[in-house]
Every structure is written in structure tokens, then in C-alpha cells.
Amino acid sequence: QLQLVESGGGLVQPGGSLRLSCAASGFALDYYAIGWFRQAPGKEREGVSCISRRAGSTYYADSVKGRFTISRDNAKNTVYLQMNSLKPEDTAVYYCAALPTGYVYTCQLGSYDVWGQGTQVTVSS
């Protein structure tokens, strides 16, 4: 059974940093492109960053470019999202998700079909 588990969320002051982790179980992560998505209260879920199977391609939403970095360690079956210079508008539940094998790499939310339970990130003073 494919499972993804996010961790690393929490409360941080504006300008601070957090590193989110997305750990996979039940499958080898290197078969899948992985995306990070977030959903703020009252808003639709949106794509934040995605990484292809072998990290050859990455995508960042304009709102996080230059502040967030996605990476993967296939040996540890984990994908990371390093978030720096956090802003209050980054407050959301962050989810990681896997793109089905055989799909062309994309960061379109609707293409991802295995989701973690989410981790809360709150940026506030």
C-alpha cells in the first residue's frame, strides 16, 4: 500500500525557516515524481513545488521562488521542502503527493493521486 507521511510543520515567526519531509512507505519513491501542495483556510489547494523522479526537473510557484527548495533523497525514500524567509501568507496545510508512474512529469494538482495527510505550517509573530 502506497503511503506518504509529511512531517516538519509547526509555528514559525515571519522570516524563519522550516524543512518539511515527505516519507514514502510501501513503494520505492524513485519511481514517482513528487509534489508539494498547500491549502490555506478558505482557499483552494495549490501547487507549491514539484520534482521529477530523478530530480532533473523542478517546478516552483511564483509565490515561493527564491525562498523554497525541493529536493529528494531516493536512498532514504524521502522528499524535502526547505522553506526560508517564510511569510504569513505561507500559512497553510502542506501536503505531498505522488504522480502515477507512466505520467508525463507535471505539477498539475489533478494528476497526483496518492496524498499524505498533511502538516500544518503557521507563520505568525
At 37-92, the pLDDT tens digits run 999 999 999 999 999 988 789 999 999 999 999 999 989 999 999 999 999 999 99
Q: Is the pLDDT of residue 29 over 90?
A: no
Pairwise CA distance, residues 34 & 26, whole Å? 15
Q: Is the pLDDT of residue 104 over 90?
A: no
Is residue 55 a contact partner of residue 69, using CB atoms and an 8 Å limit?
A: no
Is residue 69 a contact partner of residue 58, using CB atoms and an 8 Å limit?
A: no
Pairwise CA distance, residues 31 & 94, whole Å? 22
Q: What is the pLDDT of residue 2?
A: 84
Q: What is the pLDDT of residue 101?
A: 83
Q: What is the pLDDT of residue 123?
A: 98
Q: What is the pLDDT of residue 54?
A: 82
Q: Is the pLDDT of residue 100 over 90?
A: no
- Rounded mean pLDDT of 113-120? 96
Q: What is the pLDDT of residue 79?
A: 96
